[in-house]
Chains A and B, each alone.
Chain A
Amino acid sequence: MAKTEIVKLDIDQTPLREIKKTTLGTGLIKGLGITMRHLLSRSVTIQYPDEKDVLPARSRGVIALKEENCTVCMLCARECPDWCIYIEGHKESRQPAQEGKRAKKYNVLDRFAIDYALCMYCGICVEVCPYDALFWTPEYEYAEHDITHLTHEMDRLSDWMYTVLPPDELDPAATGPEFKTLPQRTAPAVAPAPAADGEQPTAAGEVAAPKNDQGEPSAPAAAPEQEAKVTEEAAVAIDTDVATGEAAPQEEAPEPEKEAPTPSEPQAEATAVSEEEAEEIGRKVYEEEIGKGSDPRVAEGRRKAAVLRARKGTRGPGG
C-alpha cells in the first residue's frame, strides 16, 4: 500500500492555498471580461482580394530562376526532397584561345522547371545553389485550374526574377556574423621576420599568440569582446614594431578583424531617392516594357522591382 503524502506545492514561493483562494463565479466573470475586451478591440482580418498584406522580402512565395547564373550543376535537383525540379542541359565546347590548346567545355541549360504541385517550399534548392541562380520571392498568386500548369518552365521562373526583393537591411542591434580569429597561424610567421633586429618584437608576438589561443574557443556571446581585446593587443604589437623601426609585416594577422564588427555598413552608402521619384522611375520602366511588347505581368514585375530598387537605393539581385 502506497502511503499518501501531502506535498505542499510551491509555485514561485506562493502557497497553493493563496492561488486557489477565489470566490465562486469569479472565473466566469473574468471570462466574460476577456471576451468583451476582445469584442471591442480591432479585428485583424485583411480582406484579401481587396486588400493585400505587404509581405517581407524573405517570404517564401515562389522560387525564381536567374537563368544566366545556372551552371546545370544539378545540385538543386539532387537535393530536392520532392524531386520536383527538372533540369536538362548539354555540353558545348568553345574554340581554344590558342592553336593546340584543349577546347573549353561548358554546360548549356536547356530546360529548368519546378513543379509547384509537388514543391513543399522547403527552400533547400535556394540554399544549396552555389551560383545564386535561385531566389525566393514573395509572390503567391499563381493558382491554376489545371494541375499541369503548376509546372513552371524556364520562362515563367525567369519572369519571377522581377519580383525578387532586395534583402532586408540587417538589424542595427545585431552583432553581425562572427569571424574566427586565426592569428596564431600567422603570428609565428610574423615573429621571425623582425627577429634579426632584437628581442622585443618577438616578445610582442609571443604575448599576442597565447591571448588568441584563449579567444578562439570562447563562447559566441563573448566573442565580440574577445575580438576587441585581440585587436588592441595587435595594435600594441604594431606600435612596438614601429617603435623598433621595422615596418609592420603585410600579413599582420589581426588587421582584417578591425572591419569585422561593421557588417551592416554596405547599405548605408547607397543613396535613397524620394517616394515620388521612385514611382516616376517605376512608371518609366513600365511604359518602356509595354512599348517593347512585354507581357503586362512581366512589365508590372519589372516596374515593382525598379521602384523598390530606387526606393532603397540599392541594386537588387535582379538588376
Chain B
Amino acid sequence: MFAKMKSKKAIIYLVLILFALFFLLPMYVLIITSFKSFAEVSVKTMWDLPQQMSLNGFITALNKLAPNLLNSFYLVIPATLISAMLGSINGYVLSHWKFKGADTLFAVLLFGMFIPYQSVLFPLVRFLQTIGLYGSIPGLILVHIVYGIPITTLMFRNYYTEVPKALTEAAKVDGANIIGIYRHIFFPISIPSFVVVFIWQFTNIWNEFLFAVTVTSKPENQPITVALTNLAGSQVVEWNIQMSGAIITALPTLIVYIIFGRYFIEGLLSGSVKG
C-alpha cells in the first residue's frame, strides 16, 4: 500500500515536471538566445547555452524599441484608469440603482466584449481619421477605453452585487444621494476590485495587437507589440535582437503577474460571465 502510494506520487511529479518543461521551453530559448553575442547566434547552436553572456542583443533591441516601450506606457496607464473608473460607476448603478430595463441595458453593454473587433475595425479607422485622432496614441487610448467598458462593467457589477442592498438603503434613509453613496461607501470599499481590474486591463491593453496595428501607422507612434512584429518580421535582424525584443515586450506584464498573481487569476476567472 505504502509503496503503491509512493509510485503514484512519483508519476504525478513526472507528469507535472514534463508539462513544466513544455511550458518553460520557449522561455529557455528566449533567454539563452537573447544573451548571446552576434558572433554566437547561429541556428546550429540555438539550443546551446551562450559561451559568454552578452548584453549586445538587449542594448540593440532597447535602442530600437525604447520609444515604443514608452508609447505603450502612455497608452496603457490612462486607458486602464479611465476604463476602470467608467466600469466602476456603471457596475454601481447597474447593481444598486436598478431601474426598469437595467439588466437589458447591461446585456447590451456586455455584448461589446464578445464581438470580433474586425466587425467594427474599418468604420473605427474612418471615424478616427475624421476626428483627427487616427495614427496617434490618444486615438488608441480612446479605442481601449471604449472597448474596455463591457469587461470593467461586468467585473465591478459582479463585485457590487455581493454588497448587501441594506447598506444602500440605510444610507438613503440618512439622506445620502446616489453620488454621495458611491463616493463615501462604494468607492472606498472597492479598492481590491480596482486592483483586479487595473491588472486585467493593464495586461490586456499592453498585449493587444489588432487595434494597435490598424490604428497607428507611423513607427514612432506604435506601441511595443507592433514594433516587435516589425522588428521580427525583417529578415536582416539577428535572432538575439528579436528574442531580446520579445523579452522587453513581455517583461512589464510578467512582472505584474509575478507580483500580483493572485489578483491576476481573480481577474481571469471573472472574465467568464457569471464569475
- Are A and B subunits of one complex? no
Task: Tell me the A residues contacting B by CB distance below 8 Å.
Answer: none
